Structure 1
Amino acid sequence: MQEYVIIVAGGSGSRMKSDIPKQFLLVNGLPVLMHTLHAFRNYSSSLHIILVLPENQFEFWQSLCEQHQFAESYLLVAGGETRFNSVKNGLDTITSQEGLVAVHDGVRPVIDKEIIADSFLKAAEFGAAVVSVPLKDSIRRVDEKGNVALDRSLFRLIQTPQTFRLNWMRKAFAHAYQPVFTDCASVLEFEGYPIHLIEGAYENIKITTPEDLKWAEVYLQSPGK
């Protein structure tokens, strides 16, 4: 069964206090997004990689590829107004009738190939495989009446990749965008498909703030990264 990954990178540098979008910031000498692409190519030389970027970032990205002599193979696709639309644009480029499709954040560069492999394996078995980790800290629900402690064992932090059967993806993304769509799992759940959670890793961070860059630098220096 053919395997695809749609890597979505449409973030800005606002919370980084940077004029450069966070996917292009340097970590250990390479833009974040290049580390992410390397991770998926390291998983499989035959994986079909679809990179979704805002069209107005194409030229800058190409200049970075030339500067860093980045030669990984992938298909570049223009993003949409929302993450939902960006994923749909990537999905629309797939012509196969069957397959497995992973969706991954471009700013999660510290992703192990073992987790990628498990996501495809479990998606083939269950139809969906969504990476998650348990909460470490206590949590409280806050509302206008105050706050109350909750049982953290009942919750999971959701990461990417989120991997699904291609036919499930096509059916779910045929819907119009809904405000409840926060990730691909919520789109598939809206269609009525069951979401199977698999074990992720705490180092699989989504780079959002300056301290995340520092952690990524440390993690990416580990053996095998």
Structure 2
Amino acid sequence: MKTTAIILAAGSGSRMQSNVKKQYMEINGRPLLLYAIDAFEKSFIDDIILVLPADDINYVTENIIEPENYKKIKAIVPGGTTRYHSVRLGIEAAASDTEVVFIHDGARPFVDNKMLSRAYEAVKEYGACVIGMPVKDTIKISDEDGFAQITPDRDKTWLIQTPQVFLYPEILELYEELAEKEQELLDNNINITDDAMVMETLGKRKVKLVEGSYDNIKITTPEDISMAESILQRKFKKI
């Protein structure tokens, strides 16, 4: 089955509190974004679509992407105003013969081939899956005033990561439907926060949860940079 990865790197990274957008901040001397691209470039994935801020495309292409001589990047497209707008633009840029699409946050540098393989096997069986890990801590759901209201069963609670993986024709159709129903969903207080939720809200499939890794962190705040460097040091020691 032909596979395409959509790597999202169009965010502003405002929580990083830096003049440099987080996708270009360096971890061990390399821009954060390159770690995710490397993982897909070296995997069984056929094509890569990269989604970037429109104003950054030329700079990133000339100074970050081209020096690496990547072979699988088939398109670099400008992102939209929200994450799911960016995802839709990335999906629409995929080749029409794509059968499976992997949607991944470029701020998660430690995705690896084992995770991708587990997700690929799951999507062939179930049609939709997401990478994640069971939570380690007790989770509380608060009420509107900030008081604990519900304590979900920890054994059934997962920390959701990326990639999130779907049969391409299905997720393309659902994102096109989402574009049409966006305001209606917002009026009903339904805010789409990840790709699995698109399937859960508009699709007809259950989304299978697939084991990722506790190392598969998302770089969001300055503290995450230090954590990422520690993970890299540990991985290099194993090698």
- Identify if the C-alpha distance between structure 1 residues 197 and 63 changes in structure 2 by more than 3 Å, giving closer, same or farther: same
The 1-side partners of 2:222 and 2:146 are apart by 34
Aligned pair partner of 1:219 in 216, 220, 231: 231
Task: Specify which of 175, 178, 183 is matched with residue 194 of structure 2.
Answer: 183
Q: How does 1:99-118 map to 2 (within 5 A)?
A: 99-118=99-118
Q: What residue is the counterpart of 1:61 in the other structure?
A: 60
1:19 offset after TM fit, Å? Answer: 0.9
- Aligned residues of 1:8 and 1:52 also touching (Cα < 8 A): yes
Q: 1:141: how far off?
A: 2.1
Cα separation, 2, equivalents of 1:121 and 1:216: 28
| Identical positions, percent | 37
TM-score, normalised to structure 2's length?
0.86
Hey, what does 2:135 align to over in structure 1?
135
For 2:34, the equivalent position in structure 1 comes to 34
Aligned length: 223
1:33-53 deviations in Å (ceiling 9; x for gaps):
011100111213x52000001
| Greater helix content | 2
Q: Distance in 1 between matches of 2:82 and 2:13?
A: 17
Cα distance in 2 for partners of 1:83, 1:145 equals 27
Structure 1 residue runs of 4 or more that deviate by more than 6 Å after TM superposition: none
Residue 197 of structure 1 is matched in structure 2 by 209
2-structure distance, mates of 1:19, 1:63:
20
Q: Relative to 1, partners in 2 of residues 1:182 and 1:145: Cα closer, same or farther, differing over 3 Å? A: closer
CA distance in 1, matches of 2:114, 2:231: 16
CA distance in 2, matches of 1:149, 1:83: 28
> 5+ unaligned residues in a row in structure 2: which ranges?
none
Alignment-derived partner of residue 70 in structure 1: 68
- Greater shift in the superposed pair: 134-143 or 2-11: 134-143
Q: 1:71 offset after TM fit, Å?
A: 1.5
Equivalent AA in structure 1 for residue 58 of structure 2: E
Q: Which residue number in structure 2 is paired with residue 3 of structure 1? A: 3
d(CA) in 2 for partners of 1:145, 1:8: 32
Report the alpha carbon displacement of residue 154 of structure 1 after superposing the two structures with TM.
Answer: 2.5
Number of the residue aligned with 1:168: 170
Residue 39 of structure 2 contacts residue 113 of structure 2 at CA under 8 Å; is this kept in 1?
yes
Normalization by structure 1: what TM-score? 0.91
Contact 1:97 1:167 in 2 (8 A): no
1:4-56 deviations in Å (ceiling 9; x for gaps): 10001122242221011100000011100011100111213x52000001111
**Partner secondary structure for residue 197 of structure 1:** strand
Residue pair 2:3, 2:98 contacting (<8 A) in 1 also? no
Between 1:172-181 and 1:104-113, the stretch displaced more is: 172-181
Which residue of 2 is the match for residue 47 of structure 1? 46
